[in-house]
């Protein structure tokens, strides 16, 4: 399979429960930033065996287009997030993966 630098895939769709309240901040250039933690739990098939899958990832939403929906995000809500992975350096200087949101929807 050939890839070029303009077509490298980085896409993640993850469904889970909101595990923290939404924190809002603003970038130095005035872009609204929102973030919360998402917890995913499921049973997956691997090598014909069932495996309990669990992860917790920080979700980042950048831009005013998310201002309305973030007001509706409550702890415990079930959401599906589509976006790309990026590494951020946390306050301790450690690198962590975060999910930068392109689309978010509530799941009943």
Burial label, 87 (beta-carbon count in 10 A; 0-12, 13-18, 19+): exposed
List the one residue out of 108, 90, 15 whose CA is nearest residue 54.
15
pLDDT at position 25: 96
pLDDT tens-place string over residues 42-82: 999 999 999 999 999 999 999 999 999 999 999 999 999 99
Q: 70: burial class by Cβ within 10 Å (0-12, 13-18, 19+)?
A: middle
The structural domains of the chain, with segments of one domain joined by +, span 10-106
Rounded to a whole number, what is the distance in angstroms from the first to the last CA of the chain?
A: 38
Residues 6 or more apart whose CB falls under 8 angstroms from that of 77 comprise 17, 18, 106
Q: Domain spanning 10-106 has what CATH number?
A: 2.40.50.140
């Amino acid at each position: 399979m050939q890839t070029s630098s303009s077509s490298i895939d980085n896409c993640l769709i993850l469904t889970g429960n909101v595990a923290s309240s939404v924190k809002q901040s603003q970038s130095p250039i005035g872009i609204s930033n929102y973030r919360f933690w998402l917890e995913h739990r499921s049973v997956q098939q691997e090598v014909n065996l069932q495996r309990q899958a669990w992860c917790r990832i920080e979700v980042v939403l950048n831009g005013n287009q998310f201002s309305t929906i973030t007001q509706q995000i409550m702890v415990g809500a079930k959401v599906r997030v589509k976006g790309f992975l990026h590494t951020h350096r946390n306050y301790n200087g450690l690198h962590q993966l975060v999910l930068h949101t392109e689309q978010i929807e509530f799941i009943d």
